[in-house]
Amino acid sequence: MSEKIEIIEGARVGIFGGTFNPLHMGHVNVITTVHGRLNLDNVVVVPAAQNPLKAAVEGPNHEQRVEMLHRGLDEFPYVIVDDQELHRGGVSYTIDTVKAYSEKVAPENLYLIVGLDQFEEFDKWKDFEKILTLANLVVVTRPKHSLPFSEEDMPKGLKSLVAVFDRQFVALTTGRSIEFVRLQDIDVSASEVRKRLRTGRNVDKFISIKVEEYLREQGLFAPLGPRIGDYEAFTHFCAQALFERKAINVRGFDLRPTEAPTEFTLIASGTSTRHASSLAEAVMRAVKDEYNVFPQSLEGSQEGRWVVLDYGALIVHVFYDFVRQEYRLEDLWRQGKDLQIKEAPAPQPAKS
Ligand code: ATP
């Protein structure tokens, strides 16, 4: 915890971490509700350093994320924005942040706040048992995720730590507790907000005016369309980047005649997971060089089984060919127009 951050002795402190990419009303709802319900003195908001692989995705840099959090949360005087994970860099582990706070805040007064989606995976977090000796856990509801009804529904690794299970409240053998807080749910996620911003749709209900103004001021999450221009040409451009890296079975479709959520799609295979990941990287590099654009999101590139690059109106799917057979996405796109993608002939050496 940074020297600058002042927490008074005996304060009850909540830690709320996330990527906040961007900060949305779901986050604000968590902060204000838990602050009131648990009678906390401070809620510390800790933006996570991004996974190095995700850094290539469009979005705010570290400084911009911190500034966005300040602007979006400055009306709540009990909120502290702590950028320690950004300073540490690399992959962020909550245990390190909790340890830092445990030097100033007694375990009974320290609360780690997570959404139900995170709680379901909590037993995979680094040193989760240690976290549950240094801090209590507060779990807030999130649409499409259900609260555990009984000990049986708890994440597997947590079951052995349960001393008493009482629906809203679980006493743990570590001396700490897990409290479930029901929110007036706001069905919003950062990914949904990003999509809306990218496609120029209204986000009034999802992010505050101050955050929206800041994003606009900084040109963040602006629609990619104007930078990419003709998406059909862009699809062919990406296909050539795939061919250059020996992609197999490259096909492209114009999905505008269909109900699909995107306009164009490209699908290709690599002969191994490694090959598939390197194909996706090749597309990203070529697009960055030519259009100065990063994808809005990148999924699956570590495993290389099915990598998805989202360029707004174009989604690129790169498969390990063996996995592609399982999903047969082309069958879904039969109503679209096949773009008859072909490898461009290699440029001929100039005659002297
Ligand atoms: P993404 O859509 O990119 O996965 P996110 O909306 O889940 O992002 P994060 O910054 O990853 O946002 O979330 C930080 C924390 O806020 C997590 O603990 C998450 O569970 C919680 N959270 C996010 N949105 C909501 C919501 N609408 N209601 C309750 N909790 C939420």
Residue bearing the bigger pLDDT, 217 or 259:
217
Q: Is the CB of 194 under 6 A from ligand 1?
A: no
Query: C-alpha angle with apex 327: 324 to 197, nearest 5 degrees?
Result: 95
Residue with structure tokens 């996974």? 51
First vs last C-alpha separation in the chain: 67
Alpha-carbon Rg for the chain, nearest whole angstrom, is 23
Q: Can you give the three-state secondary structure of 197-231, one letter per residue?
A: HHCCCCCCCCCCHHHHHHHHHHCCCCCCHHHHCCH
Atom of ligand 1 nearest to the CA of 192: 2
Cβ–Cβ < 8 Å for 307, 245: no
Q: How confident is the model at residue 119 (pLDDT cuts 50, 70, 90)?
A: very high
Q: Poorest-confidence range of 80-84, 95-99, 126-130, 190-194?
A: 190-194
Cβ–Cβ < 8 Å for 238, 286: yes
**Is CATH 3.40.50.300 correct for 13-181?**
no
- Which residues 6+ apart lie within 8 Å of 179 measured at CB? 38, 111, 136, 137, 138, 139, 168, 169, 170
Structural domain boundaries of the chain?
13-181, 226-338
Query: C-alpha angle with apex 228: 227 to 233, nearest 5 degrees?
Result: 155
pLDDT at 55 over 60: no
Nearest CA to ligand 1 atom 20: 115
Nearest CA to ligand 1 atom 14: 18
Q: How confident is the model at residue 53 (pLDDT cuts 50, 70, 90)?
A: very low
Q: How confident is the model at residue 342 (pLDDT cuts 50, 70, 90)?
A: very high
Q: How far is CA 157 from CA 16, 35, 151, 161, in A?
A: 22, 28, 11, 8
The string of DSSP codes covering 121-174 is TGGGSTTHHHHHHH-EEEEE--TT----SSGGGS-GGGGGGEEEEETTEEEETT
| pLDDT of 297 | 84
**What percentage of the chain exceeds 90 in pLDDT?**
76
pLDDT in tens, 177-225: 999 999 998 889 998 898 888 778 899 999 999 999 999 999 898 888 8
Q: Is the CB of 30 under 6 A from ligand 1?
A: yes
- Which residues 6+ apart lie within 8 Å of 274 measured at CB? 304
Atom of ligand 1 nearest to the CA of 19: 10
| pLDDT of 50 | 64
Phi then psi for residue 107, to 5 deg, are: -55, -35
Mean pLDDT, residues 126-140: 97
Q: Is the CB of 117 under 6 A from ligand 1?
A: yes
pLDDT in tens, 5-51: 789 999 999 999 999 999 999 999 999 999 999 999 999 999 998 65
Cα-to-centroid distance, 116 and ligand 1 (Å) = 9
Closest CA to 268 of 320, 231, 229: 320
What's the fold here for domain 226-338?
Beta Polymerase; domain 2 (3.30.460)
- Which residues 6+ apart lie within 8 Å of 66 measured at CB? 47, 81, 83, 86
247, β-bridge pairs: none
Cβ–Cβ < 8 Å for 115, 140: yes
